[in-house]
Amino acid sequence: MGDQMKNHRGIVLVFLIPLLLISFLVYVNKPPQPQASSSSSPSKSLKIFSINAHRKLSRTLHISSPSFSSNSSSTYAVIFDAGSSGSRVHVYNFDSNLDLLPVGDELELFEQVKPGLSSYADNVTAAAESLIGLLESAEAAVPEELHSSTPVRVGATAGLRFLSGNTSEEILEAVRDLLKQRSDFKLESDAVAVLDGIQEGSYLWVSINYLLGNLGKEYPSTVGIVDLGGGSVQMAYAISETAYENAPTPSVGEKYVKHTYLNGTDYYLYVHSYLGYGLLAARAGLLNVTGDSGSPCILGGYNGSYVYSGITYNATASSSGSSIDECKKVADKALRISDTCTYLNCTFGGVWNGGGGVGESNLYVGSFFFDKAAQVGFVNSSDHIAKAYPSDFEAAAKIACQTKVKDATSVYPNVIDVPYICLDLVYQYSLLVDGFGLDPSQEITLMKQLKYQDSWVEAVWTLGSAIEAISSSSSTADL
């Protein structure tokens, strides 16, 4: 029996030893596997527009997972929005999937001051110093050990575009110096610049669709945007690839449609910025139409002047008071509705309208549209978002234009610059209906903030810029 066991063991060893040797060779030649890390995640590849205002908007940026310091699981970005009506700071915090994380008790830090940088055209030092309070708030929101790795950007919008000579660049240089001297944030050489209107519109489209969770979906599932600032108005929405291929090319300026890649999906984004057609600039435009004559857009009994971009305009009411019908005529002239259209369809001023379609059917409309609607009361000022119709602005304008200036303060206790309330509402209605061609009964979404997870986030372009700023790798390509 013992001899038989020895014979069996010998047979087993004859087969077992080669098998063990083969297994060992396979193991030592196995390629190394990547190590898991608590701060790593599947790469998210986004491609959006560059903020670099010193170049034409002709490149895109691949966005992958952000870089993190060894002792942090998140990264911050500080973005200043230097608009014509005021300056604002936004501080965002992202995880490795580019999802937003809280900043303190909220999902972002947002603060603002008035007036805007362009109001300090005669004192560039004071312009820069107007940002100190916002900068200090941002520094307090970002952990001190992350200051040196936190990018900071200042995007100046339409207000600075209007300044003459070198004034805008002198203001920006003063802001650069302020950030270098007073802050440890990471400041790139081109991080303080005048933001091109098309970039602004593109960033906003990305921001809104990011917050709504639309990026990566087919273009009919995205929403379009209209953003009425003080100096300019932007429209952006996604169109089909066929519409992109057949899109006209303007004789001057940027192309109407940008091809971009976001979250695994190709988008063809119609975007146009109308400089000089923001609400504050439009007041000047409408008053310029009537000149020294009384304006049918100014509340009856008002006799004053309006200053915009250093130019003074007569803002005296006509002898018969304000009139919605007469003011509409003035607004259409200021919008250049009757300009020759060399395309199949135009908005105003001879600009191609993008062709319309499903990408435009669901519009999110922001900034002064929401503010004025809240001030006159057809949306609740405490709401962050509201459904409305262009006709709501017309209905509000009918009431406003029948109001005398002596009664206006009691009728509209929340309205700023109350003598212009008829003008503002008429212009907003005319812009939507006569300018952008919306049906008066088309439902639109007025937005101030959008809900993301369980928090409310400002519906502005800065989020798109922040996503780009914290991207860890980039490459360029022609659009």
In a domain, residue 53? The reply is no
pLDDT at 28 over 70: no
In a domain, residue 63? The reply is no
Mean pLDDT of the chain: 85
pLDDT in tens, 59-115: 343 444 455 444 567 899 999 999 878 999 999 999 988 899 999 888 999 999 999
Average pLDDT, stretch 122-146?
A: 97
Q: What is the pLDDT of residue 59?
A: 37
Q: What is the pLDDT of residue 164?
A: 78
- Check whether residue 442 and residue 464 sit in a common domain: no
* CA distance between the termini of the chain: 84
In a domain, residue 125? The reply is yes
- Check whether residue 427 and residue 466 sit in a common domain: no
Of all residues in the chain, the percent with pLDDT exceeding 70 is: 83
Domain at 131, CATH number = 3.30.420.40
The residue annotated as part of the active site, out of 108, 139, 200, 394, is 200
Q: What is the DSSP string of 91-121?
A: EEEE-TTS-EE-BTTBSSEEEEESS-GGGGT
Residue type, 209: N
In a domain, residue 411? The reply is yes
Average pLDDT, stretch 16-27?
A: 48
Detail the residues annotated as belonging to a binding site for ATP: 230-234
In a domain, residue 241? The reply is no
Does the annotation count 144 as an active-site position? no
- Check whether residue 80 and residue 149 sit in a common domain: yes
CA–CA dist 86, 99 (Å, integer): 28
Q: Which of 158-167, 175-184, 377-386, 425-434 has the lowest mean pLDDT?
A: 158-167
Structure confidence at residue 304 as a pLDDT band (50, 70, 90): very high
Q: Which of 124-133, 159-168, 328-337, 365-374 has the lowest mean pLDDT?
A: 159-168
- Check whether residue 413 and residue 432 sit in a common domain: yes
Between residues 68 and 336, which one has the greater pLDDT? 336
In a domain, residue 213? The reply is no
Q: Which of 125-139, 148-162, 288-302, 412-426 has the lowest mean pLDDT?
A: 148-162
Between residues 129 and 11, which one has the greater pLDDT? 129
- Check whether residue 345 and residue 440 sit in a common domain: yes
SS3 348: coil
User: Is the separation of the CB atoms in 215 and 206 below 8 Å?
Assistant: yes
- Check whether residue 325 and residue 391 sit in a common domain: yes
In a domain, residue 212? The reply is no
Report the domain count for the chain: 2
- Check whether residue 314 and residue 379 sit in a common domain: yes
- Check whether residue 470 and residue 402 sit in a common domain: no
pLDDT in tens, 348-382: 999 999 998 888 889 999 999 999 999 999 999 89
- Check whether residue 362 and residue 469 sit in a common domain: no
- Check whether residue 458 and residue 441 sit in a common domain: no
User: Is the separation of the CB atoms in 265 and 218 below 8 Å?
Assistant: yes
pLDDT at 270 over 90: yes
192-194/152-156 β-pairing: parallel
Q: What is the pLDDT of residue 61?
A: 39
CA–CA dist 207, 211 (Å, integer): 6
| Domain span at 100 | 75-194+454-475
- Check whether residue 390 and residue 470 sit in a common domain: no
pLDDT at 159 over 80: no
In a domain, residue 211? The reply is no
pLDDT at 207 over 60: yes
Domain at 357, CATH number = 3.30.420.150
Q: What is the pLDDT of residue 347?
A: 97
- Check whether residue 291 and residue 190 sit in a common domain: no
Detail the residues annotated as belonging to a binding site: 230-234
CA–CA dist 120, 10 (Å, integer): 96
pLDDT in tens, 209-232: 999 999 889 999 999 999 999 889
Q: What is the pLDDT of residue 72?
A: 61
Q: Which of 16-30, 62-76, 402-416, 462-476 has the lowest mean pLDDT?
A: 16-30
